[in-house]
């Protein structure tokens, strides 16, 4: 009798889509990143938290193929990799949505959705852009992500910042990204719009993508995150799974914990003087 077949997830260990293992990056003699490790799994959101200058942009640039790491290993689906350029990253299924989205504001939403990858119809001298297909696909793809835009013909510049982020996320999902890197997608948004964007970040995760969410906001990270890496001056100051950290702890670590306590001592008000310039202060008994 043959032994029963092991379930698929026992046969193959749950391999990360992207893994950084003790990655470092130097700009001349500036250490922008030192020994940073990060795992990105399908159907999960890995958050990278850090203040200004923590190394978040440098990390994105390595994953997006803009910069090469100087030490450590960068694995894509278990294979050690050095990406040649952003096109290479895209070809390997890594899509990056930057805060200042590369859109053409006066062009309609559907035109921006397909920018650079426009489908055509007809052949030879009759070849032309398949506008109908682009319009319909944009509408249906946005709807599939739960984004109900009134009109895909409106110029993308008329959408709110949050809506534009959502279109960019839907676009990456449609064009087959396996890994979606989001550069502070909620940084310039108000509370309500941030919530909407986070909903679509979760929708990308539910579509099976591995998401890297860069943010300086622990509340936003904790709403959706499965893993959390904290960066401080280029080094990792914490690495947690959701089960191993609470929002309070994440916020405390992000805020600098003991540094914050020290600051609050420094800012504590000294007792108000009872005399000013040799004269009693009205209302202050001497
Ligand atoms: P911010 O949120 O302010 O953009 P960040 O977390 O994205 O910050 P990085 O931009 O990755 O941080 O910068 C990390 C460190 O590397 C900083 O000290 C920065 O000055 C330095 N750095 C970044 N890019 C370069 C570069 N091209 N040349 C020299 N130093 C750089």
Residue 237 lies in a domain: yes
CA-based Rg of the chain, rounded to a whole angstrom? 24
Question: How far is 45 from 222, CA to CA, in rounded Å?
Answer: 10
Q: Which burial class, exposed, middle or buried, applies to 26 when counting CB atoms under 10 A from its CB (0-12, 13-18, 19+)?
A: middle
Residue 18 lies in a domain: yes
Q: Is the CB of 162 under 6 A from ligand 1?
A: no
Closest CA to 196 of 145, 144, 140: 145
Per-position pLDDT tens, the chain of length 286: 444 444 444 444 568 999 999 999 999 989 999 999 999 999 999 999 998 889 999 999 999 999 999 999 999 999 999 999 999 999 999 999 887 777 788 889 999 999 888 888 888 888 888 999 999 999 988 888 777 877 899 898 888 888 888 888 888 889 989 999 999 988 888 888 888 889 989 999 998 999 999 999 999 999 999 999 999 999 999 999 999 999 999 999 887 766 666 666 777 766 666 666 667 766 666 6
Q: How far does residue 282's CA lie from ligand 1's centre (Å)?
A: 52
CATH number of the domain where residue 32 is located: 3.40.50.300
Question: How far is 196 from 167, CA to CA, in rounded Å?
Answer: 12
Residue 275 lies in a domain: no
Q: Which residues contact 19 (CB under 8 A, 6 or more apart)?
A: 37, 38, 39, 40, 73, 74, 75, 78
Domain count, the chain: 1
Residue 2 lies in a domain: no
Question: How far is 171 from 173, CA to CA, in rounded Å?
Answer: 5
Q: Which residues contact 73 (CB under 8 A, 6 or more apart)?
A: 19, 20, 21, 22, 23, 80
Residue 122: alpha-carbon gap to chain centroid = 39
Q: Is the CB of 225 under 6 A from ligand 1?
A: no
Q: Is the CB of 12 under 6 A from ligand 1?
A: no
SS3 129: strand
Q: How far does residue 127's CA lie from ligand 1's centre (Å)?
A: 46
Q: Domain of 120?
A: 14-255
Q: How far does residue 220's CA lie from ligand 1's centre (Å)?
A: 22
pLDDT score for 283:
67
Residue 232 lies in a domain: yes
Q: How far does residue 70's CA lie from ligand 1's centre (Å)?
A: 15
- Pocket probe for ligand 1: among 50, 57, 186, 237, the residue whose CB has the most ligand atoms within 8 Å is 57
Question: How far is 253 from 128, CA to CA, in rounded Å?
Answer: 55
Pair 139, 131: CB distance under 8 Å:
no
Q: Which residues contact 166 (CB under 8 A, 6 or more apart)?
A: 142, 145, 147, 196, 197, 200
Helices 191-206, 161-174: axis angle to 10 degrees equals 10
pLDDT score for 5:
46
């Amino acid at each position: 009798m043959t032994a029963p077949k092991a379930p698929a997830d026992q046969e193959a260990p749950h391999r990360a889509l992207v893994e950084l293992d003790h990655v470092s990056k130097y700009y001349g003699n500036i250490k922008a990143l030192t020994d940073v490790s990060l795992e990105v799994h399908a159907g999960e959101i890995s958050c990278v938290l850090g203040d200004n200058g923590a190394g978040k942009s440098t990390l994105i640039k390595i994953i997006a193929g803009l910069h090469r790491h100087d030490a450590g290993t960068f694995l894509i689906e278990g294979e050690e990799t050095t990406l040649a350029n952003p096109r290479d990253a895209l070809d390997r299924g890594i899509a990056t949505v930057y805060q200042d989205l590369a859109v053409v504001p006066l062009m309609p939403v559907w035109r921006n959705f397909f920018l650079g990858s426009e489908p055509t119809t007809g052949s030879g001298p009759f070849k032309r852009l398949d506008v109908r297909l682009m319009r319909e696909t944009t509408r249906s793809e946005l709807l599939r992500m739960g984004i109900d835009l009134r009109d895909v013909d409106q110029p993308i510049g008329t959408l709110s910042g949050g809506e534009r982020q959502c279109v960019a996320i839907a676009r990456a999902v449609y064009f087959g990204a396996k890994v979606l890197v989001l550069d502070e997608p909620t940084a310039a948004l108000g509370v309500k719009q941030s919530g909407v964007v986070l909903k679509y970040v979760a929708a990308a995760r539910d579509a099976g993508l591995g998401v890297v969410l860069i943010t300086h906001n622990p509340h936003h990270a904790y709403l959706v995150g499965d893993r959390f890496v904290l960066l401080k001056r280029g080094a990792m100051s914490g690495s947690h799974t959701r089960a191993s950290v609470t929002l309070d702890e994440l916020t405390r670590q992000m805020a600098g914990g003991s540094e914050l306590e020290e600051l609050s001592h420094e800012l504590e008000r000294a007792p108000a003087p009872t005399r000013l310039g040799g004269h009693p202060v009205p209302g202050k008994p001497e």
